[in-house]
């Protein structure tokens, strides 16, 4: 059993999920702490009327992007403005890739204050035999509908003059214009104007579906009770909104015994603070508004933070890990996708290190807990990071469980011993290594040295586990000004998130990026696809905050540089 290994897997899994979510919305929101932009012109995306309830993802920007860029340029030092302008242009080109549309020429002159992008379906023709062909919809509000109409007409005339086979047809009172697929079978660019919105899609089928959703209002996302429940729990001051239908990503509930809907969803509102981006999330399990309201478990920071150093690259803290696991188990029951996601690392740990996390760890952590990673110092970059795990041990169950961990370590071949560190007695899991005689290589005295692989100690009401003696010494010798709670970056985050919470996740990106790249190969690809975000990311903090009428709430603060 390796303490370092199971702590590493737990932490890395959490980080991966968070980074994947963040990369989606940042491309629309840019990277600047826009103090002057407190909210969009509208608080709810009007384009939700075009989007079906089953839409996998919808992202809306509720303020004109040029307004954001203008404020960003004012706040950026003159020497950095060309680079910042280039970043905005790169985002615009990415969103309009393969459309033959130019933002400055074809869109900017008439664009209003709402831009919505939706992945309408993961497969346009719903035929997996010929591969998946996603269907996208761009819904752009027009400040000048007449100019937008004229611009689109000129665009299609130019396309036709260039030899493109352009088709115009009426559909339920709306004119659809598109070009035929080319020889490579690429999906045709399609446009339409409906009221004050310009609709752009990669297939006329997507435009027809959007119009159907408007005329059969019950089909649209705007009429979804789950979506409306989520909006009720989110602050109205926002510049963007993200909706993710979890049921459309292979996460359907398959067990009819479980009283859960087939399509839970996550809605996220994005706001701006002087230090970065502030997101509020609402997780809704279903259409019915009959869930329980649960107050946050914590009204102030837990005492376990006092053993977490300010040099931590990432930290997770909360209370009653056992209850959290029980809730998670009930939520994912009958959902093979989520069950596999959660249980796979647990099975790996059990098979390799004979450690059953729910029974050997979660089961007895019913009080406060904190987990932190300490990155290696610059001069020791090749070394692995250290880990600290702190948990309250006020129950007989906890005391017996800690003894059981020692027994498991012995069963796995480690030696168990005690030694003094200052005034504390530490228990160590060690291996014996032969010490070579460097003075005389021909002599082999078989001198053995005990090398600690992990240590733990009882400190007041807490049990502290670390992956090295150095990390334990750091945890035990902390003074108030060196703890994570007093770290400048962490203080800024705590000022942005609610005091009442169920727990916290903190990531110092600059301190952790080297370790994360080693553990998550996919992260390198994410960095390329969301480069503006990662270039400016300094730290990330997440705080969960109970539930209101069954809607689970959380706050995400993204510190930017």
pLDDT in tens, 425-441: 888 888 766 666 555 55
- Please check whether residue 235 is in contact with residue 555, taking contact to mean a CB–CB distance below 8 angstroms: no
pLDDT confidence of residue 212: 94
pLDDT confidence of residue 211: 95
Distance CA 147, CA 143 (A): 9
On the question of pLDDT at 10 being above 50, the answer is: no
Tokens of 378: 């610059």
Choosing from 174, 199, 223, the residue where a domain stops is 223
Does residue 540 lie within any of the structural domains? yes
Tokens of 358: 């729910």
pLDDT confidence of residue 141: 94
pLDDT confidence of residue 131: 64
For the chain, the farthest-separated pair of C-alpha atoms sits apart, in whole angstroms, at 95
pLDDT digits (tens, 9 = 90+) for 454-495: 888 999 899 998 888 888 888 888 765 688 888 888 888 888
Same domain membership, residue 473 and residue 364: yes
Considering the chain, what percentage of its residues have pLDDT values greater than 90? Answer: 16
Which of the two residues, 395 and 17, has the higher pLDDT score?
A: 395
Distance CA 528, CA 336 (A): 31
Same domain membership, residue 150 and residue 7: yes
* Of 13-27, 176-190, 203-217, 414-428, minimum mean pLDDT range: 13-27
On the question of pLDDT at 503 being above 70, the answer is: yes
Same domain membership, residue 338 and residue 219: no
pLDDT average, residue stretch 107-111: 89
Same domain membership, residue 215 and residue 311: no
Does residue 287 lie within any of the structural domains? no
pLDDT average, residue stretch 203-210: 93
3-class secondary structure, 172: coil
Closest CA to 508 of 318, 374, 307: 374
pLDDT average, residue stretch 182-210: 85
Choosing from 188, 223, 258, the residue where a domain stops is 223
* Of 152-161, 431-440, 483-492, 512-521, minimum mean pLDDT range: 431-440
On the question of pLDDT at 139 being above 90, the answer is: yes
Tokens of 361: 């760890």
Does residue 428 lie within any of the structural domains? no
193 forms bridges with which residues in the sheet?
Answer: 198
* Of 54-68, 75-89, 159-173, minimum mean pLDDT range: 75-89
Considering the chain, what percentage of its residues have pLDDT values greater than 70? Answer: 71
pLDDT digits (tens, 9 = 90+) for 215-246: 887 889 999 988 998 999 998 888 889 998 87
On the question of pLDDT at 9 being above 70, the answer is: no
Does residue 266 lie within any of the structural domains? no
Angle, to 10 degrees, between the axis of helix 321-332 and the axis of helix 336-353? 130
431 forms bridges with which residues in the sheet?
Answer: 451
Q: What's the whole-number average pLDDT of the chain?
A: 77
On the question of pLDDT at 29 being above 60, the answer is: no
- Please check whether residue 295 is in contact with residue 500, taking contact to mean a CB–CB distance below 8 angstroms: yes
pLDDT confidence of residue 25: 32
Same domain membership, residue 20 and residue 111: yes
Tally of domains in the chain: 2
Distance CA 221, CA 230 (A): 12
Same domain membership, residue 308 and residue 214: no
Cα–Cα separations (whole angstroms), residue 346 to 154, 156, 391, 401: 59, 56, 19, 18
pTM recorded for the entire structure? 0.78
Distance CA 336, CA 169 (A): 44
Q: What is the DSSP letter of 210?
A: H
Does residue 542 lie within any of the structural domains? yes
> Which pLDDT band holds residue 63 (cuts at 50, 70, 90)?
confident
pLDDT confidence of residue 294: 80
> Which pLDDT band holds residue 262 (cuts at 50, 70, 90)?
very low
Residue with the two structure tokens 């600047």: 32
Does residue 484 lie within any of the structural domains? yes
Does residue 91 lie within any of the structural domains? yes
pLDDT digits (tens, 9 = 90+) for 548-559: 888 888 899 988
- Count other C-beta atoms under 10 Å from residue 46's C-beta: 18
On the question of pLDDT at 534 being above 90, the answer is: no
Distance CA 175, CA 260 (A): 41
Does residue 364 lie within any of the structural domains? yes
pLDDT average, residue stretch 367-372: 89
On the question of pLDDT at 116 being above 70, the answer is: yes
Same domain membership, residue 312 and residue 175: no
* Of 191-200, 228-237, 299-308, 440-449, minimum mean pLDDT range: 440-449
pLDDT confidence of residue 252: 42
pLDDT confidence of residue 210: 95
- Count other C-beta atoms under 10 Å from residue 550's C-beta: 18
User: How many helices and strands in the chain, by DSSP H and E?
Assistant: 14, 20
On the question of pLDDT at 16 being above 50, the answer is: no
On the question of pLDDT at 130 being above 90, the answer is: no
pLDDT digits (tens, 9 = 90+) for 351-363: 655 678 788 888 8
pLDDT confidence of residue 235: 86
On the question of pLDDT at 168 being above 90, the answer is: yes
* Of 88-92, 209-213, 263-267, minimum mean pLDDT range: 88-92
Radius of gyration (Cα) for the chain, nearest Å? 27
pLDDT digits (tens, 9 = 90+) for 120-129: 888 787 766 6
Same domain membership, residue 467 and residue 359: yes
- Please check whether residue 309 is in contact with residue 320, taking contact to mean a CB–CB distance below 8 angstroms: no
pLDDT confidence of residue 185: 53
> Which pLDDT band holds residue 148 (cuts at 50, 70, 90)?
very high
Same domain membership, residue 309 and residue 208: no
pLDDT confidence of residue 184: 58
> Which pLDDT band holds residue 263 (cuts at 50, 70, 90)?
low
211 forms bridges with which residues in the sheet?
Answer: none
* Of 183-197, 300-314, 519-533, minimum mean pLDDT range: 519-533
Choosing from 223, 257, 286, the residue where a domain stops is 223
On the question of pLDDT at 113 being above 70, the answer is: yes
pLDDT confidence of residue 13: 34
Residue span of the structural domain in which 401 resides = 303-411+462-551
Same domain membership, residue 347 and residue 219: no
On the question of pLDDT at 23 being above 60, the answer is: no
Same domain membership, residue 308 and residue 197: no
pLDDT confidence of residue 15: 35
> Which pLDDT band holds residue 3 (cuts at 50, 70, 90)?
very low
On the question of pLDDT at 348 being above 50, the answer is: yes
Same domain membership, residue 321 and residue 216: no
């Amino acid at each position: 059993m390796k303490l370092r290994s199971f702590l590493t897997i737990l932490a890395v899994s959490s980080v991966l999920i968070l980074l994947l979510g963040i990369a989606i919305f940042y491309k629309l929101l840019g990277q600047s702490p826009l103090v002057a932009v407190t909210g969009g012109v509208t608080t709810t995306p009007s384009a939700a009327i075009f989007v079906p309830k089953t839409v996998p993802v919808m992202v809306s920007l509720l303020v004109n992007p040029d307004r954001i860029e203008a404020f960003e340029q004012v706040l950026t030092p003159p020497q950095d403005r060309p680079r910042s302008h280039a970043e905005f242009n790169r985002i615009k080109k990415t969103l309009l890739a393969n459309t033959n549309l130019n933002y400055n020429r074809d869109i900017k002159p008439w664009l209003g204050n709402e831009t919505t992008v939706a992945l309408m379906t993961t497969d346009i023709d719903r035929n997996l035999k010929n591969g998946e062909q996603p269907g996208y919809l761009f819904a752009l509000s027009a400040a000048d509908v007449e100019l937008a109409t004229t611009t689109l007409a000129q665009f299609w005339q130019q396309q036709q003059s260039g030899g493109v086979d352009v088709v115009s047809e009426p559909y339920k009172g709306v004119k659809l214009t598109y070009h035929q697929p080319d020889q490579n079978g690429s999906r045709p660019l399609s446009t339409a104007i409906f009221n004050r919105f310009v609709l752009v899609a990669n297939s006329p089928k997507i435009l027809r579906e959007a119009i159907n959703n408007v005329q059969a209002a019950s089909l649209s996302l705007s009429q979804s009770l789950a979506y409306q429940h989520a909006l009720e729990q989110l602050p109205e001051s926002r510049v963007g909104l993200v909706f993710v239908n979890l049921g459309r990503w292979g996460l359907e509930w398959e067990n009819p015994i479980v009283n859960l809907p087939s399509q839970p969803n996550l809605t996220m509102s994005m706001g701006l603070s002087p230090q970065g981006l502030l997101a509020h999330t609402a997780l809704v399990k279903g259409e019915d508004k009959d869930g329980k309201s649960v107050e946050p478990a914590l009204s102030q920071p837990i005492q376990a933070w006092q053993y977490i150093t300010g040099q931590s690259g990432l930290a997770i803290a909360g209370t009653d890990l056992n209850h959290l696991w029980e809730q998670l188990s009930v939520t994912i029951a009958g959902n093979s996708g989520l069950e596999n996601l959660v249980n796979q690392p647990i099975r790996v740990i059990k098979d390799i290190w004979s450690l059953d996390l729910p029974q050997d760890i979660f089961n007895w952590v019913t009080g406060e807990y904190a987990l932190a990673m300490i990155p290696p110092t610059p001069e020791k970059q090749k070394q692995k990071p250290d880990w600290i795990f702190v948990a309250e041990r006020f129950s007989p169950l906890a005391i017996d469980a800690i003894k059981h961990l020692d027994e498991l370590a012995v069963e796995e071949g480690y030696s168990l011993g005690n030694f003094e560190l200052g005034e504390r007695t530490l228990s160590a899991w060690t291996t014996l290594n032969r010490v070579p005689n460097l003075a005389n290589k021909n002599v082999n005295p078989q001198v053995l040295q005990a090398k600690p692989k992990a240590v733990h100690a009882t400190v007041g009401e807490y049990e502290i586990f670390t992956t090295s003696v150095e990390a334990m010494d750091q945890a035990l010798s902390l003074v108030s000004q060196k703890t994570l709670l007093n770290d400048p970056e962490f203080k800024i985050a705590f000022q942005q998130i609610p005091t009442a919470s169920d727990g916290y996740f903190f990531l110092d990106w600059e301190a952790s990026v080297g370790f994360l790249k080693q553990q998550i190969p996919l992260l390198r690809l994410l960095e390329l696809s969301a480069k503006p975000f990662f270039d400016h990311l300094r730290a990330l903090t997440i705080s969960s905050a109970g539930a209101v009428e069954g809607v689970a709430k959380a706050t995400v603060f993204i510190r930017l540089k």
